[in-house]
Structure 1
Amino acid sequence: MRINRNIVMFSGLSSSDNLRRHYERRRVELGDHAADWTKSLVEKLSGLTAAPELAGLGALAIAVLIDIVSSSPPEESTKEALRGVFAEQKASEVWDHIDECLKRCRMNINSRDDLKSDIKRIEYQLSAALTRLKNAMVRDGHMTADGLRAWVNGAAFHVQMLIHLVRLGGTQTCESVETLISTYESELSLLFTKHQEMVKGKCRTRFFHATNASESLTQFRDENSKWHKVDGGISFGEYFEAYYDHRYGRQKSEIEEYFCDVRGNLQNLVRQRGSFSVN
């Protein structure tokens, strides 16, 4: 249920440093083939200078390109790691827009006006897709852990799209970003409430007398059909609340902390200029 590490790494204030480390790691992995790989990257990324286009989503897009050129195995690919978050069928539309955005960031990295236009177009489409995914889980009863995970990551990416748009001068203020973060924080609370209801509906308790035991024993079955021993005197409701908080409480807190940190660093993020060079 956590935000994918690639979104966190390449969209934060250390995006350029993380991109450089990603590049160096791939170069070392290629060994004797590194020279040809570097030449291919130079052809695709020549002439880049420190610029807003290379920060945030730009850094993530370049990381994806580095993996494509190096023919990284799927299990190690930045793009495949992101795609895996949106594996559920209902989330495929969200992934399609994210994939398109990253492609456009690579294609128009040297054309700011075209890039701004592309991001504005795709941002609108991604926003609508996230609303449909949320409504399917909240209103239509199609809540799943994978669906919630996809929504969380899609929302994080959407926020970064608006930040990148401000960074590029496509939007003059951060007001829309702040409003979006607040909206997603509220929706996150609602979605976790619905998720908790879904999990609770799959859980059960059973009572039985064990051999040589004078008192009945209680077991709790979680949403994955795994049984847990319950101490005597604890009701199903009490145990479930403790179980859900133990399993999902920290994940929810980490997501809330992510959005809070983005809001707190917003001015620094929109002023960010990324840098990357192939050597």
Structure 2
Amino acid sequence: MWFQQEGLIMGSNACAPSGETMQNILSMAQIGGIMPDVALDRTLAGYLSLNSGTALTSHYEAIQERLSKDQLAFFNQNLTSTFGGNKVTLGRTGVVALALSLFLDIVANDIMGLPTPDPMQRFLGVTHSSIGNIIGDYLRKVPEVVNNSDGMADITDLCDLELKFELIDLFERMTLHGQLNSRNLKLWLNGAAIHLHVRIHGIRLGSVPQGSAESLRLSYSTAFPSLVRRYTGYLRRYIRETPPSPRTHATGFLVIEPNRNASHWVKHSPCESRAIENSLLAHIINAQRVPSTEEYLENLGKNLNLLVRHRNDFELTKKGV
């Protein structure tokens, strides 16, 4: 276990909560929607890797399976019109594959009359943010310039520059100005992952020096463990739990961080609250998959040259036509 509880062993004394009590507390936190999620998004990590082509192809085929023959014809016509043909240069690589996957969703959902959820909410954990606006604007523009190397270089360089300053600003606000919380940490981590691959794509296009991707990766790899340590201390300060009161019939109360709290009816001895708080902290930190994120950043460095040389195109298969 990456994060160890501090000297607390379940069942070792009268004030240690039972496994059932902890499971009930965790269930109440889940039901109340107050469990933090600051982890690297799995879907995002899949596209921002050497497996991006496989991820895009699987997504493309799944969408085609859901469409009727008439819908497929309209779907294919829309894609061909946008891309200017049946082939997308570097379409199965990194941020381009990510952008195309989102564009396929938009086109298909529009044909089927379905809403398209905000991808920034899914990837970054927030709907409105400067970082999300920059990334969202970039990903929306990619399908329009995919076969125009100059246009792609222009929007990629601009996104790279803007993300650099916004992520530095967010890091400083978290570390120097007391703005570290679950929302900002998830925004920073997933924004940094996208930024790294925007930089890598700039190298593919020949618009930025190759060494700049490794220096950026090292800065994020160094910053991440530091932020996790600060985040752990932040949660330790705020996590509080009180049991229901049998005398006043008041509900129990669970606080994870400011504006993230819930009532509960899990009965237990008041002296167990401290152990419950420590166990909650351990559970939350372990749930963030910190080792896998550190491994992702490490592997990105090992595979950097392969990622830069990753130049697979995307071709429309036009099933059902």
Do the two structures share a fold, i.e. TM-score over 0.5?
yes
Report how far residue 158 of structure 1 moved.
0.5
Q: Which residue of 1 aligns with 2:234?
A: 198
Q: Does 1:247 align with 2:273?
A: no
Over 3 Å counting, the alpha-carbon distance change for 1:209 and 1:124 in structure 2 is closer
Question: 1:166-187 deviations in whole A, cap 9, x for unaligned?
Answer: 12222342x2111111211222
Pairing 1:211-222 to 2, within 5 Å after superposition: 221=254
Q: Does 1:57 align with 2:102?
A: no
Over 3 Å counting, the alpha-carbon distance change for 1:240 and 1:179 in structure 2 is farther
Over 3 Å counting, the alpha-carbon distance change for 1:171 and 1:100 in structure 2 is same
Q: Which residue of 2 aligns with 1:273?
A: 311
Equivalenced residues, count: 266
Q: Does 1:110 align with 2:147?
A: yes
Q: Does 1:125 align with 2:162?
A: yes
Q: Does 1:99 align with 2:136?
A: yes
Q: Distance in 2 between matches of 1:190 and 1:264?
A: 22
Letter in 2 for 1:25: A
Q: Which residue of 1 aligns with 2:216?
A: 180
The 8 Å contact of residues 137 and 143 in structure 1, kept in 2 or not, is answered as: yes
Letter in 1 for 2:80: V
| Structure showing the higher helix proportion among its residues | 1
Q: Does 1:139 align with 2:176?
A: yes
Report how far residue 45 of structure 1 moved.
2.4
Q: Does 1:81 align with 2:119?
A: yes
TM-score (norm 2): 0.72
Over 3 Å counting, the alpha-carbon distance change for 1:46 and 1:197 in structure 2 is same
Report how far residue 95 of structure 1 moved.
0.5
Report how far residue 93 of structure 1 moved.
0.0
TM-score (norm 1): 0.81
Report how far residue 46 of structure 1 moved.
4.1
3-state secondary structure, aligned to 1:71? helix
Q: Which residue of 2 aligns with 1:13?
A: 50
Report how far residue 226 of structure 1 moved.
6.7
Over 3 Å counting, the alpha-carbon distance change for 1:124 and 1:229 in structure 2 is farther
Q: Distance in 2 between matches of 1:243 and 1:170?
A: 47
Q: Which residue of 2 aligns with 1:36?
A: 74
Q: Which residue of 2 aligns with 1:216?
A: none
Report how far residue 48 of structure 1 moved.
5.2
Identity %: 24
The 8 Å contact of residues 239 and 281 in structure 2, kept in 1 or not, is answered as: no
The 8 Å contact of residues 88 and 314 in structure 2, kept in 1 or not, is answered as: yes
Report how far residue 74 of structure 1 moved.
4.0
- Is there any run of 5+ residues in structure 2 with no aligned partner, and where? 1-37
Q: Which residue of 2 aligns with 1:167?
A: 204
Over 3 Å counting, the alpha-carbon distance change for 1:226 and 1:148 in structure 2 is farther
| RMSD, matched Cα | 3.1
Letter in 2 for 1:29: R
